[in-house]
Structure 1
Amino acid sequence: MKFSKILLLLLVFPLMSGSNAHKFYVSITKIEYVKEKNSLQIIAKIFTDDIEDALQQRYDSSLSLDTEKETPTTNEVLQNYLLEKIHIKVNGSAVKLNYLGKEYDTDMLVAYLEVVDLKELKTIEIENKVLLEMFSEQQNIIHLKTPTTRRSLILDNDEPRGKLKFN
């Protein structure tokens, strides 16, 4: 009986001592090439408190997301930030990202972007520097889906851009 109590303490103590766990810094961006619409449809999910901190530090300390205090300029500031931090080249040429809007899902900000007038997708180069200036541990995960393939990239401070090739 005494042995089982000691064993239990040895197992539980490390779990309890880790209660000040390190925060996880990540964003997930889903990109889908929709051939019928000649477009890239992009959904970026970012923790609301992290993006709010970045926007406050960069633009306006009184800026607020997902609250009744959100102002009409909040959307414009978010748009500017995302369009500054995310860049895409398709088939070697830079493409224009169109910011469509945002919504909130629990503790995540979900931003919608789109690239139009894409006839084909042979290569795509993605640069995603969202929150990299704020958190050295930040990872921006990219999931790309085409009609025939699925690929993923993990971008961070060491490698903020990646390239995928398709046949």
Structure 2
Amino acid sequence: MRKKLLKGLLVLLLPLFAFTTAHKFYLSVTSVKYSEKEDALQITSRIFIDDFEKVLDKRFGIKGNLATKDESPIAMDYIEKYLKSKLVIKIDGEVVAYDFLGKEYDDDIMVCYIEIPKVNFPEVKSIEVQNEVLFDLFVEQQNVVHFRLKDIMKSFVLIRENNKGMLKL
């Protein structure tokens, strides 16, 4: 009796498992830290390489071949161009320019390094991050922003409809 019940259950459940697919997460993680030594905001943004490849292709028609020996020599310029159009930093309500220092790869992740020099942190009242990275390509995209500034730690999950996180100091 027990065997028949198990077989019956298996027959009912098997079709359900046959048509499920693994869900892909669309996520980036950006960390904002203050370096007292450099008097600079240091920002790292971690983005899946395959997702960024798609945005380079769709937005700019570039085959980046990121993280391969055939990486496009213009990929770095387009990575910087895209980030500067989608990642906006404000200090005390004013948009600030930042330096794109470069990138490196960590398995399937591209780590981008950004710096805002000469911040004069003791006088800063608020820092806002508007992160729209990959929102133009993936509806499900979420961009996590972690602030770690002196003894303050705060995180935001940004989505298309709510793409800004502000830390008041």
Tell me whether the two structures share a fold, i.e. TM-score over 0.5.
Answer: yes
Cα deviations by residue, 1:108-135 (Å, 9 ceiling, x for unpaired): 1111111110112321111101000000
For the pair shown, the structure with the greater C-alpha radius of gyration is 2
Tell me the amino acid that sits aligned with residue 140 of structure 1. Answer: N
Please give the alpha-carbon distance, in whole angstroms, between the structure 1 residues aligned to 2:138 and 2:106.
22
Q: State the 1:62 CA deviation.
A: 2.8
Quickly say closer, same or farther: Cα 1:118–1:18, change in 2 above 3 A.
farther
Q: State the 1:36 CA deviation.
A: 3.1
Does residue 49 of structure 1 match 2:50? yes
Cα deviations by residue, 1:59-92 (Å, 9 ceiling, x for unpaired): 1243321112212211111111111110101122
Q: State the 1:4 CA deviation.
A: 8.1
Does residue 160 of structure 1 match 2:163? yes
1:93 aligned partner: 94
Query: What are the residue-to-residue correspondences of 1:1-167 with 2, within 5 Å?
Result: 1-2=2-3, 5=6, 9=10, 13=14, 16-17=17-18, 19-120=20-121, 121-166=124-169
Q: State the 1:98 CA deviation.
A: 0.5
Q: CA RMSD in A?
A: 2.3
Please give the alpha-carbon distance, in whole angstroms, between the structure 2 residues aligned to 1:130 and 1:137.
12
Please give the alpha-carbon distance, in whole angstroms, between the structure 2 residues aligned to 1:165 and 1:46.
26
More displaced 10-residue stretch of structure 1: 42-51 or 155-164: 155-164
Contact (CA 8 Å) 1:35, 1:119: kept in 2 or not?
no
Q: Unaligned regions of 5+ residues in structure 2, if any?
A: none
Structure 1 runs (4+) greater than 4 angstroms displaced: 6-10, 12-15
Alignment TM-score, normalising by the size of structure 1:
0.88
SS at match of 1:57: helix
> Identical aligned pairs, as a percentage?
37
Q: Unaligned regions of 5+ residues in structure 1, if any?
A: none
Please give the alpha-carbon distance, in whole angstroms, between the structure 1 residues aligned to 2:31 and 2:102.
15
